[in-house]
Amino acid sequence: IYVAGFFSDTLYVNGDTLIAAGGNDIFLARYDLPCGKGIPVGIKNNYIPAENGVLVYPNPAAEFTNLIGKPISNTAQLLDIKGQVVKTFSLDVNAIQQQIPLNEIEPGIYFL
């Protein structure tokens, strides 16, 4: 399983300490899980509110994805693996929870 996200200041993961080199920084983590051992591999609708930023779930997503948190911009861009903008979505900066439709997006790896 691969997990990606962003953080500011300091991030602690499994005994490792990552310090942001500037305002915000990104991370990509790989977890090797034994398959078929009863280990959940999806994200439930429960979530831990983010202090800074927006939580995005479910991941992976097919029809839509949810944004939880107050966005700092009125738009969100979906980027492909090459960093090219695939689609731009309008956001309500006053809404705490929003849904982004993905039914017109081809399957692949994207960054929001």
Residues 71, 101: one domain?
A: yes
Would you say 24 and 7 are in contact if contact means Cβ atoms under 8 Å apart?
A: yes
pTM equals 0.52
Residues 57, 16: one domain?
A: no
Cis peptide before 101 (omega within 30 of 0): no
Residues 28, 58: one domain?
A: no
- Residue 9 resides in a domain: yes
Enclosing domain of residue 68: 53-112
- Residue 80 resides in a domain: yes
Residues 25, 61: one domain?
A: no
In this structure, is the dihedral angle defined by the CA atoms of residues 103, 45, 1 and 15, taken in order, positive or negative?
A: positive
Digit-coded pLDDT (tens) for 23-61: 777 777 776 666 555 555 555 554 445 555 677 888 888
Would you say 81 and 72 are in contact if contact means Cβ atoms under 8 Å apart?
A: no
Give the separation between CA 56 and CA 65, rounded to whole angstroms: 7
Digit-coded pLDDT (tens) for 60-106: 888 988 888 777 788 889 998 888 999 999 988 888 888 989 999 99
pLDDT given for residue 87 in this prediction: 94
Residues 34, 61: one domain?
A: no
Would you say 49 and 68 are in contact if contact means Cβ atoms under 8 Å apart?
A: yes
What six digits make up the tokens of 65?
């994805």
Residues 34, 70: one domain?
A: no
How many domains are there within the chain? 2
